Amino acid sequence: MFFQQVYDKTLAQASYFIGCQAKNEAIVIDAKRDIDTYLAIAKQNNMRITHITETHIHADFLCGSRELAEVTGAKIYLSNEGGEDWQYEFAHEGLKEGNKIIVGNLSLEVIHTPGHTPESISFILRDHPATDDPVMVFTGDFVFVGDIGRPDLLEEAAGMVGTKDIGARQMYESLKKFLLLPDYVQVWPGHGAGSACGKALGSIPSSTVGYEKIRNWAFQFNNDFEGFKSYLLSDQPEAPTYFAMMKKLNRIDRELLAEVPNHPTLSLKDQDESWTVIDTRHKRDFAEGHLKGAINIQNNNTLPNWAGWMLDYNEKLLIVAEEGSQEDITRKLMRIGMDNIVGFLTDVDDAELVSTKVVDADQVELMKGESDVTLLDVRRKLEYKAGHIPNAQHYFIGHLPKVLPVELRNRKVIVQCQSGDRSTIASSYLESHGFTQVYNYLGSFADWKASGKPIVFV
């Protein structure tokens, strides 16, 4: 048997390439959209991708199953569980509880594991030349290392009221199926630490059934559904707004993108005022000088997450980037279906640039008590509750595109987060929407704390 996990750090998302070396056949589970990774693995190992499957209709990334099928001719196998409202709207081989996918001398048995979503399935892998006993289980967003999938995403991100209570009950029942698996079976989940699909995901890539029974909080509520439900639904991270779009695009018959696009490098004279300018340079370079109206979302592992939070899918994007980073940025954005890139700007030295008003801890301390100043803490609610700067008003960054704090437009607004990345996104977003007295506390809460200044706890 051949096995390789493909891990996308930008979305903390895991996909799997599993092959039978005797028959040179392979299956890919939960493929990311830039599929050349899997094609390279197949070529390097003299295998044919003959099967493609998914654990559920994903909310946090645009799955590349259909692109991979288009290029390889492989069949797509998808869940037909969950009822008529949870069916994929394009051609596929339907899967139900107990069905098996045969890949050479390997088999993957389907178990229906609703909770995170109604149609969620997991796969029990058997390597028959070695043993008919189960070897691995691919859990998708059902069981993670140290956590389980949250059932409230449909309600929080897609507005499907009442689904979180139903999902909690389904998850509680699904976990009983997991408990029936032998302790030695390896657990390979769909996400790791950093994903918004749970609240306490571990940073190691895999686990075992036995270890999860002992260490995973979800298995500690024996015969206590209400306690389980209360813990499961409390303190979950804010659900990114782009999740609703991913749910839609992963279900419908959409336009395919089988190759990574090569977007043009433009000059300043090509710029159209209707385009949204996203500056992906380092926050300090952005603060020193940037195009007026540009939004700073740095090109690091969080780029697709914050692009999904802050940008509309109908916006045409002009990307300011360091030379040589164009392909990397394109890949990150195409993984969430953000394809409206008109081109890149790699040289803004000759442009008329504006700078950001940057303040330090002492300046914040002097300003925050003034009658015309608002200190805006744009971190997550749990971070704010765990400790914040006195007089800071909480306003989560991801909610700015939904409802701008227009009541602050004529005030001096100091923006801070934990270490400056989110405050730079937020301050630049406010300025791009007409706020003229914005100050970025670039050191943010980490700097405030290191300076020994007072902290308020909620």
Asked whether the domain spanning 357-450 has the same topology as the one spanning 268-353, the reply is yes
CA torsion, ordered 413, 300, 310, 407, to nearest 10 deg: -10
Residue 447 has pLDDT above 70, yes or no: yes
Query: What is the reported pLDDT for 154?
Result: 73
What backbone phi and psi angles, to 5 degrees, belong to 388? -145, 170
197 against 226, higher pLDDT: 226
Query: What is the reported pLDDT for 405?
Result: 97
Query: What is the reported pLDDT for 355?
Result: 97
Q: What confidence tens digit (pLDDT) does each residue in 295-312 have?
A: 999 999 999 999 999 999
Write down the H helix ranges in 59-162: 65-72, 153-158
Domain 357-450 fold is Oxidized Rhodanese; domain 1 (3.40.250)
pLDDT band at 158 (very low <50, low <70, confident <90, very high): low
- pTM score, two decimals? 0.95
Share of the chain above pLDDT 90, in %: 93
User: What CATH code would you report for 268-353?
Assistant: 3.40.250.10
In eight-state DSSP terms, residue 270 is G
Please tell me the distance from the alpha carbon of residue 224 to that of residue 220, in angstroms, as a whole number.
9
Class of residue 211 by CB neighbours under 10 A (exposed 0-12, middle 13-18, buried 19+): middle
Query: What is the reported pLDDT for 197?
Result: 85
Nearest to 320 by CA among 342, 338, 335, 305: 342
- Over range 384-393, report the average pLDDT: 97
Query: What is the reported pLDDT for 349?
Result: 86
Listed in sequence order, the residues at least 6 apart from 184 whose beta carbon sits closer than 8 Å to its beta carbon are 208, 209, 210
Residue 159 has pLDDT above 90, yes or no: no
Strands 317-320 and 295-296: unpaired
Residue 431 has pLDDT above 70, yes or no: yes
Distance of CA 329 to the CA centre of its chain: 15
> Residue 67 is encoded by which pair of tokens?
């692109």
Q: What are the residue ranges spanned by the domains of the chain?
A: 2-249, 268-353, 357-450
Q: What confidence tens digit (pLDDT) does each residue in 59-92 have?
A: 999 999 999 999 999 999 999 999 998 999 999 9
Strands 100-103 and 106-112: antiparallel
Please tell me the distance from the alpha carbon of residue 232 to that of residue 336, in angstroms, as a whole number.
26
- Over range 8-18, report the average pLDDT: 97
312 against 160, higher pLDDT: 312
What backbone phi and psi angles, to 5 degrees, belong to 222? -65, 120
Please tell me the distance from the alpha carbon of residue 174 to that of residue 306, in angstroms, as a whole number.
32
Residues facing residue 123 across a β-bridge: 110, 138
Residue 122 has pLDDT above 70, yes or no: yes
- Coil, strand or helix at 306: helix
On whether the CB atoms of residues 240 and 337 are closer than 8 A, the answer is no
- Over range 42-70, report the average pLDDT: 98
Share of the chain above pLDDT 70, in %: 99
Class of residue 314 by CB neighbours under 10 A (exposed 0-12, middle 13-18, buried 19+): exposed
| CATH superfamily, region 2-249 | Ribonuclease Z/Hydroxyacylglutathione hydrolase-like (3.60.15.10)
Q: Is the four-CA dihedral 226, 231, 232, 237 of positive or negative sign?
A: positive
Residue 397 has pLDDT above 70, yes or no: yes
DSSP 185-206: -EEEESB-TT-TT-SS--SSS-
On whether the CB atoms of residues 332 and 290 are closer than 8 A, the answer is no
Residue 157 has pLDDT above 80, yes or no: no
> Residue 69 is encoded by which pair of tokens?
């099928």
- Average pLDDT over the chain reads 96
Q: What confidence tens digit (pLDDT) does each residue in 260-303 have?
A: 999 999 999 999 999 999 999 999 999 999 999 999 999 999 99
Class of residue 353 by CB neighbours under 10 A (exposed 0-12, middle 13-18, buried 19+): middle
Residues facing residue 66 across a β-bridge: none
Query: What is the reported pLDDT for 380?
Result: 97
